[in-house]
Structure 1
């Protein structure tokens, strides 16, 4: 069907294949550290928040695209593993903040470094300039998809 524009399929299909091929190696890294993808995401979000590596559950929920029930289960597992702490907030008794424990900081730093080294190897076939260009283009596409009111019909 030469009259059909297939450029979207070419780009989005490749993105799907890349994700499919990259995930097993990345998930193996998480597994070696005793984590699954969602647990890694929670811990790395807390790490990125900076010292004291603490956020409210609502802040985590909003940044991770999880259901509140899903986040509750993840936080319970991470707390049982002593990777996070839930100190009582005397100013707001309704919600306890989520904070990385010392054990959690050490674990996520190690897992993050290993993951980033692995991902750097995955994109190593691209020059530095190609990596910057691809990242910029994917960022532009992501922004357009996140903001449908930008004028594009999605």
Structure 2
């Protein structure tokens, strides 16, 4: 069953027989799938009044476990943003009532960001919605195929992740 990527690869083979467009079979499909994933993520987050960046911060806090708090520095490293960007994001989440800032009990010079109850509810609902949407994206695969795909993608990403 031919798809759009097959037609693109065939066209490149016809137009540039000196090139091997075989990598397009993988990467064009990954690119197209990434677009569908991005749309699903945005829809899951928007349904909860969140943006992708706010979900990233809230989910980092939620994954930390109770009491769902981290320093801004740890949040920066987990979300790969600068100090100024993280300050802006935390300010916006505080204004929305999803997180609060407070001093660390052992050292008041250290600021800690903590999820509020509405923040926990928002990130939990968004995560459940996201997983439903991502499961739907995988529904066309046979039972064992997600595990095979996981292994192949992990191997493909390993050089970029420094493992």
**Number of matched residues?**
148
Q: Distance in 1 between matches of 2:74 and 2:102?
A: 16
Q: Does the Cα contact within 8 Å between 2:40 and 2:134 map onto a contact in 1? A: no
Structure 1: gaps of 5 or more residues: none
Rg comparison, structure with higher value: 2
- Give me the whole-angstrom Cα distance separating, in 2, the residues matched to 1:128 and 1:75: 41
Does the residue aligned with 1:144 lie in a helix, a strand or coil?
A: helix
* 1:88/1:97 contact within 8 Å kept: yes
Name the residue aligned to 2:93: 78
Q: Report runs of 4+ in structure 1 exceeding 4 Å deviation.
A: none
- 1:74-127, CA deviations, whole angstroms, 9 ceiling, x for partnerless residues? 111111111111111253344311111111111111111011111101111112
Aligned-partner Cα distance in 2 for 1:143–1:13: 20
Q: 2 CA distance for matches of 1:59 and 1:109? A: 21
What is the aligned partner in structure 2 of residue 123 from structure 1?
A: 138
- Return the alpha-carbon distance in structure 2 between the equivalents of residues 69 and 15 of structure 1: 32
Is the 2:44–2:126 Cα contact (8 Å) retained in structure 1? yes
For residues 140 and 92 of structure 1, the distance between their equivalents in structure 2, rounded to whole angstroms, comes to 42
Question: 1:46 is matched with which residue?
Answer: 61
1:103-118 equivalence runs, <5 A: 103-118=118-133
Find the aligned partners of 1:125 and 1:93 in 2 and give their Cα distance: 52
TM-score, with length taken from structure 1: 0.87
Query: TM-score by structure 2 length?
Result: 0.82
Q: Which residue of 2 aligns with 1:6?
A: 21
Q: Is the 8 A contact 1:57 1:95 kept in 2?
A: no
> Hey, what's the Cα distance between the residues in 2 that align with 1:40 and 1:55?
15
Q: CA RMSD in A?
A: 1.7
Q: How does 1:10-21 map to 2 (within 5 A)?
A: 10-21=25-36
Following superposition, the deviation at residue 21 of structure 1 comes to 2.1
Of residues 59, 65, 73 in structure 1, which corresponds to 2:80? 65
More strand by share: 2
**SS at 1:95's partner residue?**
strand
